[in-house]
């Protein structure tokens, strides 16, 4: 039965799409437990004392049929903090498992996410969920809450990613709860209270690889089949009726979408930070923004996640490998439905081949080249080590490269680049000077050989190389401002991040290397999973 949310001017109708079509947990309480034989448990959000709006995305509201003015009503904060539930609402938390840092972790599940339901129109489904609205049966030994800093980070980044054209879940709002949450930010034995918050996240669906893995691991193959069939009919109807062939095509499509997502990450310099299989969306969306970061000084081994500082499993340059590793785990999970190792292997092998092609064409587009032949590839292979040894800012480099004209003298351009984009000091840059000058000259030679027009190239490069990304310290500044009750910085930054490929002269000052203070500061250069 549908449930309606009546706001002052609008009505949201939630359909219980997930819960009506899949088996649920008969036990109705929030006690932490192992839940077997079920895809979800019904659960109610924990009411909070003083919900207050920090930030909202009217564009996401519009998709749910909300008018802009609805966002600033008292109802809005009550509903999207979890305080106000409709009479027939049946919120739920999903059961899933996952491989964390390479090891099977058993049952995880929505430990601090509560789904309000699905909003359905003739052409779309949007699932709406609250993150940080209290414990669920899946909270294990944690509190089910989220703090303001991590909530702002999730809100800003998921919206920024959307405007960059990267497949992602979105966020409707961040609301502080008025409660204090106990967290040890550095995991160093110095916990403190921090303001709590709830993010309302919106996406067609939040199913993860781990949702399928848990049933395969438990041998609950009938439920695995029900969940997979539900996924197919709801999200992949174009693949046809469920059956062995369709399951293979489904796996191929998940693999294709996952690859597409990772290629976008590599294009814009995004590092997810925790690519565990419970954080991999079956719809190929970037999901669960935790200790993510943006590549500033180019370094393939860079990770923002301090928990991963030793192994660097989820570093920038590892992301395609890990996506493939995760797809192997999904293949294992779907195997009982398919029982054809070769068919699954063929999809995985195809991932590697296609990755090579797509990476090259993506990098060619960033460089403004028509193709990436052997000569060009050799030049790319010279560039990347130069960028990492000079600690060259990823975003500024590619954006500035578009300004170089075929006939421009090389030295002045290098000097400009040196000034704007290098973090490395003279001692590291000087020995590479000749190599840099040669590289720029060879780059121009490729442009001449490929008969590329300067103006046309700049247009094309600017469409794939963002001018503005959510630099790690920008989120930090927004959090500091919001913590003081000043929401101006998030507002200004969000406006900038909505048009990341446009010049936006009024935001030119943000097109700059990150300041020195930010490079070592916790929350800017390093983050823990504490959120
Ligand atoms: P993550 O890697 O942050 O996406 O989370 C891994 C698992 O831990 C998921 O099942 C989350 O729901 C759960 N989790 C993380 N933080 C909390 C929390 N504060 N309370 C309850 N569960 C949590
Ligand atoms: Mg997660």
Mark residue 22 as left, alpha or beta (left: phi above 0; alpha: psi -120 to 50; beta: remaining). beta
Which own/partner pairs from 7-11 qualify as long-range (CB within 8 Å, at least 24 positions apart)? Answer: 7/66, 7/70, 7/73, 7/75, 7/76, 7/79, 8/69, 8/70, 8/73, 8/75, 9/67, 9/69, 9/70, 10/65, 10/66, 10/67, 10/70, 11/65
Given a cut of 90, whether residue 529 has pLDDT beyond it is: no
- Interior CA angle at 517 toward 514 and 522, to 5°? 95
CA distance 273 to 208: 16
pLDDT for residue 486: 66
Q: pLDDT band for 489, please (50, 70, 90 cuts).
A: low
311 Cα: distance to centroid of ligand 1 (angstroms): 21
- Interior CA angle at 132 toward 128 and 138, to 5°? 90
Tell me if residue 449 is catalytic.
Answer: no
The model's pTM is: 0.97
103 Cα: distance to centroid of ligand 1 (angstroms): 16
pLDDT for residue 89: 83
CA distance 444 to 254: 39
Backbone phi, psi, residue 179, to 5° = -95, 160
Dihedral angle computed from the Cα positions of residues 117, 120, 126 and 128, in that order, rounded to the nearest 10 degrees: -20
135 Cα: distance to centroid of ligand 1 (angstroms): 10
* Pick from 91-105, 113-127, 206-220, 402-416: least confident: 113-127
Catalytic residue among 278, 288, 308, 462: 278
The closest-lying atom of ligand 1 relative to the alpha carbon of residue 146 is 19
Given a cut of 70, whether residue 498 has pLDDT beyond it is: yes
Q: pLDDT band for 520, please (50, 70, 90 cuts).
A: confident
Pocket test for ligand 1, best of 111, 138, 207, 272 (most atoms within 8 A of CB): 111
Contact residues of ligand 1, CB 6 A cut-off:
108-112, 138-139, 142-145, 274, 276, 278-279, 288, 290, 529
pLDDT for residue 2: 76
Can you say how many angstroms the Cα of residue 395 is from the centroid of all Cα atoms in its chain? 18
Average pLDDT, integer, range 17-38: 97
Q: pLDDT band for 18, please (50, 70, 90 cuts).
A: very high
């Amino acid at each position: 039965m549908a449930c309606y949310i009546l706001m002052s001017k609008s009505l949201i109708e939630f359909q219980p799409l997930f819960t009506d079509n899949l088996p649920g947990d008969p036990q109705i309480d929030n006690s932490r437990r192992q839940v077997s034989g079920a895809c979800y448990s019904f659960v109610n959000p924990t009411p909070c004392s003083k919900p207050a709006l920090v930030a909202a995305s009217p564009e996401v509201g519009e998709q749910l049929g909300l008018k802009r003015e609805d966002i600033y009503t008292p109802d809005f904060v009550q509903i999207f903090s979890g305080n106000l539930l409709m009479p027939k609402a049946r919120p739920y938390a999903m059961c899933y498992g996952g491989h964390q840092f390479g090891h099977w972790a058993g049952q995880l599940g929505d430990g601090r996410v509560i789904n309000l339901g699905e909003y359905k129109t003739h052409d779309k489904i949007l699932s709406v969920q609250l993150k940080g609205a209290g414990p669920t049966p899946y909270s294990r030994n944690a509190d089910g809450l989220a703090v303001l800093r991590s909530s702002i980070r999730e809100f800003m980044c998921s919206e920024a990613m959307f405007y960059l054209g990267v497949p992602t879940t979105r966020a409707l709002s961040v609301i502080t709860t008025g409660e204090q949450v106990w967290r040890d930010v550095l995991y160093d034995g110095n916990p403190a209270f921090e303001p709590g918050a709830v993010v309302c996240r919106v996406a067609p669906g939040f199913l993860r690889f781990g949702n399928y893995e848990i049933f395969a691991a438990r041998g609950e193959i009938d439920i695995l089949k029900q969940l997979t069939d539900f996924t197919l009919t709801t999200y992949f109807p174009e693949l046809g009726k469920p059956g062995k062939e369709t399951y293979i095509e489904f796996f191929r499509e998940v693999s294709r979408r996952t690859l597409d997502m990772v290629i976008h990450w590599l294009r814009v310099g995004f590092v997810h930070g925790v690519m565990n299989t419970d954080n991999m969306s079956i719809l190929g969306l970037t999901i669960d923004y935790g200790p993510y970061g943006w590549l500033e000084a180019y370094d393939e081994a860079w990770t923002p996640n301090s928990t991963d500082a030793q192994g660097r499993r989820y570093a920038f340059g590892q992301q395609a490998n890990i996506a493939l590793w995760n797809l192997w785990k999904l293949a294992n999970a779907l195997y009982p439905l398919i029982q054809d190792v070769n068919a699954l292997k063929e999809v995985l092998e195809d991932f590697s081949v296609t990755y090579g092609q797509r990476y090259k064409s993506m990098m060619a587009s960033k460089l403004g080249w028509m193709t990436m032949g052997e000569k060009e590839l050799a030049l790319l292979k010279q560039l990347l080590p130069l960028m990492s040894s000079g600690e060259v800012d990823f975003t500024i480099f590619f954006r500035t490269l578009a300004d170089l004209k075929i006939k421009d003298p090389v030295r002045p351009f290098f000097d400009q680049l040196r000034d704007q984009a290098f973090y490395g000091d003279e001692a590291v840059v000087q020995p590479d000077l000749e190599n840099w000058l040669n590289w720029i000259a060879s780059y121009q030679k490729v442009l001449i050989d490929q008969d590329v027009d300067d103006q046309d190239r700049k247009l094309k490069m600017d469409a794939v190389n963002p001018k503005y990304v959510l630099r790690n310290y920008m989120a930090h500044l927004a959090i500091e401002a919001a913590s003081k009750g000043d929401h101006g910085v998030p507002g200004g930054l969000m406006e900038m991040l909505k048009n990341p490929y446009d010049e936006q002269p009024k935001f030119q000052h943000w097109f700059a290397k990150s300041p020195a203070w930010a490079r070592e500061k916790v929350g800017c250069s390093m983050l823990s999973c504490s959120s």
